Structure 1
Amino acid sequence: MVGMRDVAKQAGVSLSTVSLVVNNTGYVSDDMRAKVEAAMRELDYIPNELARNLYHNRTNTVGIIMPTIAHPFFATLTAALQREFASRGLKTLLCSTADTDTGESEYVGMLQRHMMDGIIMAAHTEHPADYWTAIRRPIVAFDRFLGAGVPTVHSDHEQGGRLVAQHLIRTGARHVVLAGGPRTQFADGTTFPTVRYHLTVERMLSEAGIACDYVEAGSVTDVTAHEAVARNIFERYSGVDAIVGADVVAAMALQEACRRGINVPRDLQIIAYDGTLITEIAGKRLTAVRQDFPALAAALANRMDDQIADEEASGRKPARTAKTDDADADESVIEEQVVPVAFIPGETTR
């Protein structure tokens, strides 16, 4: 097997010169570099990627922790992240916490042992905030707040709520049912920015004098339970004329309405929130608030790049507090990056 010593001998240079060329570190004259690269081609030398990564203290691998990839939202986001990181020359290692026995702790351990460069955390966690802030290695949160100094990326859920409410008010809705996560997530100090969408819809409909009820759609890891949720909405709220929920719930509501002979959208409007492929194949093209998955993936990758660069530049664990010109800034601030959403008209609203 050809090694760097063989390349050095072929090129007539020192082993250290070959190392500098292979690892792209330090100064090497153009003439020397050309000799080394020519020898590498002649010998068909393939650099040892593991050794090179160890030299740079990098693995070029980012861990992605999702609650499940059985749910279309997280499957779509995972695909977007893998494409985005691949375009940057990085590999991804997926952990689906509901679909494996190990959970996020194994990945955190790998991050602490420098077996990966960073983690995108998009799953629910039982760990307190100080668990995440104490790790002090590159971590970026998606759609949740992990603790002071850990940056988070999420869609503009308040904008999404406004778009939904404005449409329902404009089209004369009288009784709206919202389907979402556990209501306990709405408590003060919530770590879930998604509640802003529900709260915005509820506030705006209340101000407009429109009845609004909320039903819990269950865990995102139990997609099959959404059919029962949709059926329950019709059984509990006979006067409902608009249903708003994540794509799967909205699709199930459309199918249940068809089984009951309810005309959509004349008698019942349905609005999906996420905008995955489900909205195109539900039977009718669902009206949806679409989250921008490529933009979310790019924002998460940019934040990860910043974290890794800060760690490398400082030669120590990154502080990972919100960027500010104020030296006395409050370190409890959570840096948020908000990505706009879009209202996509379909065949299920007037």
Structure 2
Amino acid sequence: MLCMIPLYMVTPTRRGASEKRDYGSKGGCTVAIGMRDVAKKAGVSPSTVSLVVNQAGYVSDAMRAKVERAMEELNYVPNELARNLYHDRTNMVGVIVPTIRHPFFSSLSASLQHVFMQHGLRTLLCSTVDAETGEAKYVDMARRHMMDGLVVAAHSAHSERYWTSIGRPIVAFDRYLADGIASVGSDHEQGGMMIAQLLIPSGVRHVVMVGGPLSQFHDMPIASGTTFPTVGYFMALQRECLRAAVRCDYVEAGTVSDMSAYAQAIHDVFSRWDDVDAVVSSDIGAAYCVQEALRRGVSIPRDLQVVAYDGTYLADFAGMRLTAVRQDCDGIAAVIATHMLDGIEHDSNGGDDGLRRPRRDVVPVTLVRGETTRA
């Protein structure tokens, strides 16, 4: 005779949550194992089991051992949803990037996922270019407390109020979102200086930088600073070139997700000028530049020096090993995680403003010599 017992879950309350979730078998029938079953087995009250499961309040070592032994004997696994509701946590962090097709953002996303996992947090990745609703759905999830926080690494035209109204910790990568929101990025001015100190002593006369739309660099009044700190490396390199009487031009190559725009921009550089002897671009632009130069019979690095900015895995796959300014994805991810964990702890402690001091942190970059620049 088949014995059927209904399986059910009691919806947990915010505090003192109890639930029936975990299942075992008894007499050939499937039964739900809950906190009350554990309490009965251990000879304690259900509230004591709740304190052990949710790691809240004081429970003596002896009492905790009895509860844990009963849980093990009953094969009871606590309901993670109930525990999260108890602590107002989801252990989920949203990561918003422009696109995961770009080698830098795929590398950064991997580093973020790794470091958050080390702290017991899962990542939910949003590629704004590849998602129909952009970041709006993820922001809405954060507002409804379906995430513990957001990492924003995509360009945004939203107002400061939009971001400060979300009510969950936010960490910005390489952009300014609002006062009170922490920002992390590479030391781009240091990167620009490294490139200048490499190229100018080599005798270059015409440097061309190829990058994203200039409109992204200064979409706020200069007095307030740019929302896109990456401009720091362009500005530093341009400043040093001007001081050394070296011509320096900038060519726009479309948005970060438009790979074909970089190929076209590099083609235009060669077609427009015949005196260019140095090109500085992202790993993608630098790789296209090497390929275009080889097709045209331009000698690298004798006639043309090429410097990549990012230093991802792509820097080794361009046909020649690129000289690159490398951004430290693991280091960036670690600093972002520190800010995020501080923000989550800040919220857990009731939002005391004295617990958190959002600021902009910069992570050093390194210069990696390749075959595309002269010694």
Question: Does TM-score exceed 0.5, indicating one fold?
Answer: yes
Maintained 8 Å contact 2:92/2:123: yes
Residue 91 of structure 2 corresponds to residue 91 of structure 1: no
Q: CA deviation at 1:186?
A: 4.1
User: Residues of 2 paired with 1:224 and 1:85: CA distance?
Assistant: 33
Corresponding residue for 1:209? 245
Structure-to-structure mapping, 1:115-134, within 5 angstroms: 115-134=146-165
Q: CA RMSD in A?
A: 1.4
Q: CA deviation at 1:224?
A: 2.2
SS class of match (2:254): coil
Q: CA deviation at 1:134?
A: 2.4
User: Residues of 1 paired with 2:240 and 2:165: CA distance?
Assistant: 40
Task: Point out where structure 2 has 5 or more consecutive residues left out of the alignment.
Answer: 1-22, 24-32
Q: CA deviation at 1:274?
A: 0.4
Structure 2 CA distance for partners of 1:229 and 1:146, relative to 1, 3 Å: same
Corresponding residue for 1:161? 192
* Structure with max Cα Rg: 2
1:106 to 137, 141, 149: 137
Residue 169 of structure 2 corresponds to residue 148 of structure 1: no
SS class of match (2:94): strand
Structure-to-structure mapping, 1:18-37, within 5 angstroms: 18-37=49-68
Partner AA of 2:286 in structure 1: A
Partner AA of 1:202 in structure 2: Q
SS class of match (2:342): helix
SS class of match (2:259): coil
Corresponding residue for 2:235? 199
Structure-to-structure mapping, 1:1-350, within 5 angstroms: 1=23, 2-187=33-218, 188=222, 189-313=225-349, 315-316=350-351, 319=353, 323=357, 335-350=359-374
User: Residues of 2 paired with 1:78 and 1:8: CA distance?
Assistant: 43
SS class of match (2:370): coil
Maintained 8 Å contact 1:150/1:321: no
What per-residue deviation string (whole Å, max 9, x for no partner) do you get for residues 112-156 of structure 1?
Answer: 111000000011112111211222320110000001111100000
Q: CA deviation at 1:321?
A: 9.8
Q: CA deviation at 1:190?
A: 1.9
Task: Point out where structure 1 has 5 or more consecutive residues left out of the alignment.
Answer: 324-333
Q: CA deviation at 1:320?
A: 9.1
Query: 1 or 2 for the larger relative contact order (CA 8 Å, sep ≥6)?
Result: 1
Q: CA deviation at 1:179?
A: 0.7
Structure 2 CA distance for partners of 1:321 and 1:245, relative to 1, 3 Å: farther
User: Residues of 2 paired with 1:181 and 1:82: CA distance?
Assistant: 26
What per-residue deviation string (whole Å, max 9, x for no partner) do you get for residues 167-223 of structure 1?
Answer: 001211111100112123343232111111100000001101111111012100111
What per-residue deviation string (whole Å, max 9, x for no partner) do you get for residues 14-58 of structure 1?
Answer: 111111111111111111111111111111111111111011100
Structure 2 CA distance for partners of 1:319 and 1:102, relative to 1, 3 Å: farther
User: Residues of 1 paired with 2:36 and 2:215: CA distance?
Assistant: 63
User: Residues of 2 paired with 1:111 and 1:249: CA distance?
Assistant: 35
SS class of match (2:67): helix
User: Residues of 1 paired with 2:331 and 2:143: CA distance?
Assistant: 28
Q: CA deviation at 1:242?
A: 0.5
Q: CA deviation at 1:9?
A: 1.3
Large movers: runs of 4+ above 6 Å: none
TM-score by length of 1: 0.94
SS class of match (1:144): coil
Alignment coverage as a number of residue pairs: 338
Maintained 8 Å contact 1:178/1:244: yes
What per-residue deviation string (whole Å, max 9, x for no partner) do you get for residues 227-256 of structure 1?
Answer: 111111111111111000000000000000
Corresponding residue for 1:327? none
User: Residues of 1 paired with 2:216 and 2:54: CA distance?
Assistant: 48
User: Residues of 2 paired with 1:149 and 1:43: CA distance?
Assistant: 48
